[in-house]
Structures are given as structure tokens and as C-alpha cells.
Amino acid sequence: MKIVLVNLSSTMSSDGSRLISALLKRSGYSVTNIFLARSNPFNYDKSELMLLDPILEKTKLVLIGVYSSYVLRAMHITEYIKRIFPEIIVVWGGPHCIAAPEMALEFADGVCFSEGDEAVLDFVNKMAGNKDYSDIPNMAFRKGDKIIINKVLPPFKDLDSLPYYDYDFNNAYLLDKQLVPLNKKITKEKFAYYPFYEPTFYFLSSRGCPNKCTYCNNSRYISMFGKNAIRFHSVDRIINELKASLKKLDFFKYILIADDDFFMRPHDQVENFSKQYKEKIGIPFGVAVSPNTYNSKKMKLLVDAGLRFIQMGVQTGSQRILDDVFKRNTNVKKTLAVIRELTEYKQSDDIDLLVDFIIDNPYETREDVFLTYQSLLELPIYVIVNIFYLTFFPGTPLYEQAVKDGHTEPFGKKTSRLRFFTRQGVKVRYQKNYEMFLILFIKKFRLHCIDHRFRYRRLIPLAVFRFLGIKPLRAIASLLPESFFMFLFKKID
């Protein structure tokens, strides 16, 4: 049975679709991978989708990996397939389906709403054998007007038994105005990501997150599993897979270990990883860390192994928002203290620190917004700030609360395009005020200008930013209309 697997991400990310492809190929199935990897224009029109017809007409099953941010793409390609090839079964999987399987079933014939390591292969085997597959765990199906949601399997534990992610160029295509067979040149271009804009290999060495933030799809796993099910690949497995992948894709300049928090690993594993990585891989790499797991001894081991950049989520300067809205279990003061320690490595080892903030939250007061501004003022000069808009992803606790409170509309066919979390144009909705202007202003001119070579030069003295935040100016600004601030936002965006 021939299968088409569609990846909707704007980049050719190293996500679960590559693992599903590898699992199916290991079992002898023919898989064609289609990547819809572009940022703009966001949609794919009919003329582009028609290019897939020669592939689809030989296919019985299409699997689509769906992030909530790209659900509109999933809808368009699914509607096209069902209209032109109604006999094809379309099944969705990925974060959107994990959080909101019932919503996904408005469009797809079936969804994988939990881990697919066992479920997807079981489903494909039964489908290939013309057997009933409607009772497969971790999956849900639409049968006419009836929805069948099956039981959840325990967290998959034996990560080392899984195949390496699939980076084969055979039967792999990029759809972007033309349908182009993938090759090393295209792949190299598509993996030139922020922050270095050099080919960066994304690699996942664990599953699970120590946090249970209300805005994140991970909260859905916690509700299904009853706990934070954190699992690790062994160090030997990590090194062996990296060696195999980099032998085939020999153009990568950096590696990003995309775990939610690499510092979750015990000290002995970090030590073993650092030793083997330095000896056998040697490419500069980056990891994510939280203020709760940061450990200076682990940090020193990773620096010696070739750590080049590290990322941490701050999210907000308001402890109230962290505690009462995000349920994040982190402390603002501790986070800023860890950041100050991490920035010392910029001077000694040229390690870049990236920190993330979430803005434009309807549950924030103006004072909460100002606390985030104050946190930005405290960041040392070498910290690279990422600003994201709060997005209510369907199925998360914060989405449910926001729908109840009228801050967002229920997700469905009429409201299928979600606010994108990155700042592409002015999209401030909730905090059209002076404090938000200060955040956007300091983001654009934050003490220094960073060019593409990561050199720094001071543009505006810190005292100017502090003056802009004094109470008299804030009081005067509170009298101005929202339209005035929207005008300012456009000017500084």
C-alpha cells in the first residue's frame, strides 16, 4: 500500500512526521513525503495542489502532520483531496490533534490524538489488510455522524527502539508553486534557521516537559497520562543517530537539541553526552533550559563539549501571570538571576543566550505589562530577546478559559485560522496601551543593535528607557486613545 505523508510546517522541521515515515518504511510500506515548507504566501491555491494529482491518484492513504498554526493548510489540502479523490482516507496527527481531536475530525476521516509510535503502524497494517481499524488506541475516527474516540495507551517508553528520523531524498518533494524533488541543496537552504541563519539540524533527544503551562499542548498529554511523562533517548543512541544523519547531511553548521529542557537529564548522562559529543560530533550546538533545572556543573560540561547557544523561556515579568494564568511554576527573580549567570558565558566562551517573552495577553493589567518591560530593562546587553504573541491553541486550558471569557472565538470551520505566534506585522489586540509600546520600542532598539554576525553596538542609553517608564509619563499616556498607540506600533514594527 502506498502512503503519502504531508508536512505542513513552514520549515522542513525535524518533527514527528519524519519519525512516522521511518516507522512505516521499516515495515515495508512505500511512503512519499510532501513538504509544504514556506512562510508566505500562507495558503496553497488549487493550481498548486493539482500538481500532487499524479502522486495522489496512486495513493490510498494520506497522513498529515498538523500544528494548530498551520491548520488552515491542513483543511485546504484535505478538502482538495476529498473533492478530487474521495476514496482516499485522510488521517491527521500532530499537536493540533493531540489537543483537539474532535475539532480535527470536522475535516479528517481519522486522527492520531496521542503518541503514534504504535498506533499509526497498527492502523496502517489493519487498513492494508482490509480489517476494521476503528478501535485502535490513541486514535479517533469519524463514521458518518458518529465520532469514535478510543482509549489512550501508556506513554511509549522504549525510545531507543524507534528508527532514526527519515531524511531520505527518494520520493520526497517540496511544494512551492512547483513540485520539486528534494535534494541536498534545497534541504540546506530550508534548514538555514534563526538565530544564525546557517544550516541548523534540529534533533529531539527526549519527550516530555517539566512544566504544565496552560497555553501549551503539553498540558493535554498530562491530562491523558496523569503525569509529566518524561523519557530520554540513551546517550549512545543520540550520538549514533547524529553521526548517521550528519553523514548523509554533511552541510550542517549547528545542531539544536530541541528538547523542552535538556537540563532535565541526570548529571551522569550530561557528562557522558558531553564527552561523546565532543569526541564524535564536534559541531557547535544549542539546548533549552529552565531556571528550575539550570545547574552550573552541567553547564560547564556542555560548554566544554561545544555548546554555542542556549534558550530559556521567561514569558512574562509578572509573577501573578506566571502563577495564576500560565501555571508555570517559575519565579521571575530566580529566572533573572540565572540569566545573569548565563550571560557571563558570553564573555568567557562566546555563548549566546536567547530568552522568550509572550506579550499581548488579555489577562494582563497595564501593570503586568510594565513588569515585563522592567524585566527587559534588567537583561544584560548580550541577551537576545524573542517576542511572541499569546496564541490560544485549541484544547489547551488557557484556550478553554479564553473562549469562556470571550477573548477568542471557539475554533471551527468559521474561525479556522489562528493568530500566528510570531510577530509578522502589527497584530496587537488586547494591550493597545503605552506599556505595550514600551515593550515593542525596547525590543526594536533594546540598548544595542544586533547584526547578522551577532555584533553589538549601543544605540540608546539605558537611562532613556528608564525615563520613558516613569509614572508621570505613564499617567499622561493613559489618557491617549488606543488608535494613537496602534499608530505608534505600526511605526516601530
Each residue of 179-229: pLDDT tens digit? Answer: 999 999 999 988 887 778 899 999 999 998 888 899 988 888 888 888 888
In the predicted structure, residue 453 carries a pLDDT above the cut 60: no
Q: Are 91 and 108 in contact, with CB atoms under 8 Å apart?
A: yes
Q: Verify that 101 and 230 share a domain, yes or no.
A: no
CA torsion 197→203→208→209, rounded to 10°? -30
How confident is the model at residue 168, as a pLDDT?
A: 94
How confident is the model at residue 342, as a pLDDT?
A: 94
Q: Verify that 25 and 150 share a domain, yes or no.
A: yes
How confident is the model at residue 71, as a pLDDT?
A: 85
Q: Verify that 131 and 212 share a domain, yes or no.
A: no
CA distances from 36 to 48, 104, 146, 173, 433 (A): 11, 19, 31, 9, 37
Q: Are 161 and 231 in contact, with CB atoms under 8 Å apart?
A: no
Interatomic CA distance for residues 277 and 298, integer angstroms: 14
How confident is the model at residue 463, as a pLDDT?
A: 87
Q: Hey, what's the cell of 246?
A: 550528519
Q: Verify that 132 and 94 share a domain, yes or no.
A: yes
The CATH code of the domain that includes 449 is 3.80.30.20
Q: Verify that 211 and 331 share a domain, yes or no.
A: yes
How confident is the model at residue 452, as a pLDDT?
A: 44
How confident is the model at residue 422, as a pLDDT?
A: 61
CA distances from 340 to 198, 336, 337, 448 (A): 27, 6, 5, 17
Each residue of 157-187: pLDDT tens digit? Answer: 999 999 999 999 999 999 999 999 999 999 9
Q: Verify that 338 and 487 share a domain, yes or no.
A: yes
Each residue of 372-424: pLDDT tens digit? Answer: 999 999 888 788 899 999 989 888 899 999 999 999 888 765 555 666 666 55
Report yes or no on 366 lying in a domain.
yes
In the predicted structure, residue 113 carries a pLDDT above the cut 70: yes
The CATH code of the domain that includes 50 is 3.40.50.2300
How confident is the model at residue 421, as a pLDDT?
A: 61
Q: Verify that 132 and 216 share a domain, yes or no.
A: no
Q: Are 1 and 61 in contact, with CB atoms under 8 Å apart?
A: yes
**448: number of Cβ within 10 Å:** 14
Report yes or no on 166 lying in a domain.
no
Average pLDDT, the chain: 90
Q: Verify that 150 and 197 share a domain, yes or no.
A: no
Q: Are 345 and 296 in contact, with CB atoms under 8 Å apart?
A: no
Q: Verify that 155 and 197 share a domain, yes or no.
A: no
* Total-model pTM: 0.90
Q: Which helix (H) or strand (E) holds 292?
A: none
Print the domain residue range for 420: 191-492
Confidence of residue 447 (pLDDT cuts 50, 70, 90): very low
Report yes or no on 294 lying in a domain.
yes
Q: Are 74 and 64 in contact, with CB atoms under 8 Å apart?
A: yes
Write out the DSSP string of 354-384.
EEEEEE--TT--HHHHHHHHHHHHHS-TTEE
- By C-alpha distance, which of 55, 60, 69 is closest to 394? 69
Q: Structural domain tally of the chain?
A: 2
Report yes or no on 305 lying in a domain.
yes
Q: Verify that 141 and 276 share a domain, yes or no.
A: no
- Phi and psi for 154 in degrees, rounded to 5? -60, 160
How confident is the model at residue 11, as a pLDDT?
A: 77
**C-alpha distance across the termini of the chain, in Å:** 50
Report yes or no on 175 lying in a domain.
no
Each residue of 84-98: pLDDT tens digit? Answer: 999 999 999 988 888
What are the beta bridge partners of residue 200? 254
Each residue of 269-319: pLDDT tens digit? Answer: 999 999 999 999 999 999 999 999 999 999 999 999 999 999 999 999 999
How confident is the model at residue 456, as a pLDDT?
A: 53
In the predicted structure, residue 63 carries a pLDDT above the cut 80: yes
Report yes or no on 170 lying in a domain.
no
How confident is the model at residue 188, as a pLDDT?
A: 92
Q: What is the DSSP letter of 195?
A: T
